[in-house]
Structure 1
Amino acid sequence: MQEGFVDSPAVQQLLDKVAGTGSSEGDDRIKAVVRDLVEQVMRVIVRHDLSEGEVWQGVNFLQEGADEFGLIMPGLGIEHFLDLYMDEKDKEAGRDGGTPRTIEGPLYVQGAPLVENGADLTDDPDDTGTLYMSGRIYGPDGEQVENAIVHVWHANSKGFYSHFDPTGEQTPFNNRRRIQAEDGGYAFRSKMPSGYSVPPGGASDQLMKVLGRHGNRPAHVHFFIEAPGYRQLTTQINFGDDPFAADDFAFGTRDGLLPVPNRQGDTANIQFDFHLQRADSDADEVFSSRKRLSVDA
């Protein structure tokens, strides 16, 4: 059957009813999005001649894998696509420069303790080396950014994040802090993070295998940077010497975000500066409306 079947009057009338286009109630923007989204699903069904069983197999996958949507989104490149899309919108608006944005991932937790510069992020024993990381925070004209807060979070040496650790062994906010930058600079130390893979046998793992892909991430450290008068930055650095640094299943690797740690014995040092863009409005300074886990410190 040809894809033009979706353009038939019967299907188009169905889509109008699905999206409630004949009603004066509801949200017109959401109606338009739902109509386009459902239409594209219909086109995929016809284009690939999906059977009823295959369609419901997909629905079952989504239902059973709902807990892993935060991994499936980056694994399918959708979260990275959002970065590319926002970059292009910035380019069209004449906004460029600054540290590249990259994916947030699903494992941020609101409410981490606010600590002084140079703090130790790690609360739990961990049989691994120590990471020392520091740098400066600059504005678009090279000015020192004042009153910045640096949100930092990363995995332990087993690849697990506090609050999401399946072993239940980590204390709350292990390897998570908000650092009050001082004189335009930030610094912290912590136990060395490790790369990790998606949960074995889970929905993300099943999807990667059927696509002939792996589900591994390199060792990395996540950051939010916020400061009055500047755009909030969501980014992360991947360890440039990690085997998966250039082959991140989540597509989090970007040019300019691959520092190679200076390793000496069981310690590693990373010096990395952040360059912020100036905010055009109050909305530029705040986090996106994405739902995040919130825990009291």
Structure 2
Amino acid sequence: MTHAEIDKLVRGFIVDTATADANPRVQEVVVRLLSDLFKAIEDLDLSPTEIWKGLEYIAESGATQEIGLLAAGLGLERFIDIRADEAEAKAGITGGTPRTIEGPLYVAGAPESVGYARLDDGSEVDQGEVLLMQGTVYDSHGTPLPGAKVEVWHANLMGNYSFFDKTQPDFHLRRTIITDADGRYQFRSIVPAGYGCPPNGTTQRLLDLLGRHGRRPAHIHFFVSAPGHRKLTTQINIDGDEYLWDDFAFASREGLVPPIERVSDPKKLEGLGLQKPYASIDFDFRLNAEKAGIPPAEVDRHRAAA
């Protein structure tokens, strides 16, 4: 079939059969996506078996909760961020901390504290490296933002996240920190490990067929928000990781790889009750003011809640 014939066929399937008022936006999207799919099937001469195996793959990805992982691995989530960057630049919004992907592993409801929080429960201190991370949340003019919300979450030394990994306590390595009167935050944790897709999962199976790895560098996720400002979704990568600039999820960005200082001062170690050096990261967040007429920075999507 020609593309024009396919367009006519899809309109016959979706538009001409409507017997009640349709949602115009939903109808527009379905017609476009279905037309593009039919054209791909025709152009690539996909067999019925290939089509059904594709549908089975999508169903399995959903059933095993890997759709979010697949969206990251195919670049869809990064593409969404690119479009958001372009929309903000067109509206004259520039200069804030770079955004990058949220990923599928946020959990709402982490305990709140003001100024400081400890994320880990101490169970991995001997195997890993203690981390202190601190900084200030600023507005676009460089003014500190007291009362800003810094939500932080990351993996343990096995590359696993609490809630999804039932061996970890609730909200392990997850906290919400409200910045103090000077707009500052600090947390203590452990330096996280990088990790890969489940080796036998649907995402890694597809990546194998594409000749790609499924590894992520060690990283720490953040939501940063304040009244009157655009919510920031971002993450920092741990400098020195093997996959620092080879992230299967395409989330590595300039400006999101802060230097790490190894602290060995005996007085500082004593103050933390430590016997060995720890890692320290300074990182400031800069939020842009909210502006009418562009898509909101807050994304409405399903998220886990404990």
TM-score higher than 0.5: yes
- 2:22 aligned partner, one-letter code: G
Q: Aligned in 2, Cα 1:172/1:284: closer, same or farther, shift over 3 Å?
A: farther
Q: Contact 1:241 / 1:260 at 8 angstroms: preserved in 2?
A: no
Q: Contact 1:129 / 1:268 at 8 angstroms: preserved in 2?
A: yes
1:55-74 matches, cutoff 5 A? 55-66=51-62, 67-74=65-72
Match of 1:16 among 6, 11, 19: 11
Structure-1 separation of matches of 2:296 and 2:282 = 25
Q: Contact 1:134 / 1:186 at 8 angstroms: preserved in 2?
A: yes
Which residue is 1:156 aligned to? 156
- 2:31 aligned partner, one-letter code: R
Q: Aligned in 2, Cα 1:21/1:129: closer, same or farther, shift over 3 Å?
A: farther
Structure 1 residue 101: deviation in Å?
A: 0.6
Query: Is 121-130 or 267-276 further displaced after alignment?
Result: 121-130
Structure-2 separation of matches of 1:210 and 1:262 = 40
Which residue is 1:261 aligned to? 260
Which residue is 2:30 aligned to? 34
Q: Contact 1:74 / 1:80 at 8 angstroms: preserved in 2?
A: yes
Structure 1 residue 128: deviation in Å?
A: 1.1
Q: Aligned in 2, Cα 1:81/1:285: closer, same or farther, shift over 3 Å?
A: closer
RMSD of Structure 2 on Structure 1 (CA) = 1.8
Which residue is 1:178 aligned to? 176
Structure 1 residue 284: deviation in Å?
A: 7.7
Which residue is 2:147 aligned to? 147
Q: Secondary structure at the match of 1:105?
A: coil
2:216 equivalent to 1:203: no
Match of 1:121 among 114, 119, 122: 119
Q: Secondary structure at the match of 2:68?
A: helix
Q: Aligned in 2, Cα 1:50/1:286: closer, same or farther, shift over 3 Å?
A: closer
Cα deviation 1:8-64 (Å, max 9, x = unaligned) = 1xx333311333356351210110001000111111112211111111111111111
2:232 equivalent to 1:233: yes
Q: Aligned in 2, Cα 1:21/1:238: closer, same or farther, shift over 3 Å?
A: farther
TM-score (norm 1): 0.92
Match of 2:49 among 39, 49, 53: 53
- 2:52 aligned partner, one-letter code: W
Which residue is 1:82 aligned to? 80
Q: Secondary structure at the match of 1:150?
A: strand
Cα deviation 1:124-144 (Å, max 9, x = unaligned) = 511211111001111111111
Query: Is 45-54 or 248-257 further displaced after alignment?
Result: 45-54
Structure 1 residue 263: deviation in Å?
A: 2.9
Which residue is 2:167 aligned to? 169
Structure-2 separation of matches of 1:76 and 1:292 = 20
Q: Contact 1:229 / 1:285 at 8 angstroms: preserved in 2?
A: no
1:273-284 matches, cutoff 5 A? 273-281=284-292
Q: Secondary structure at the match of 1:263?
A: strand
TM-score (norm 2): 0.89
Which residue is 2:270 aligned to? none
Structure-2 separation of matches of 1:221 and 1:21 = 50
Q: Contact 2:152 / 2:174 at 8 angstroms: preserved in 1?
A: yes
Cα deviation 1:75-120 (Å, max 9, x = unaligned) = 0000000000111111111211100110000000011111122210
- 1:114 aligned partner, one-letter code: E
Which residue is 1:216 aligned to? 215
Q: Contact 1:227 / 1:285 at 8 angstroms: preserved in 2?
A: no
Unmatched tracts of structure 2, length 5 or more = 264-275
Structure-2 separation of matches of 1:138 and 1:79 = 26
Structure-2 separation of matches of 1:21 and 1:85 = 33
Q: Contact 1:122 / 1:191 at 8 angstroms: preserved in 2?
A: yes
Q: Contact 1:124 / 1:171 at 8 angstroms: preserved in 2?
A: no
Structure 1 residue 286: deviation in Å?
A: 7.1
Unmatched tracts of structure 1, length 5 or more = none
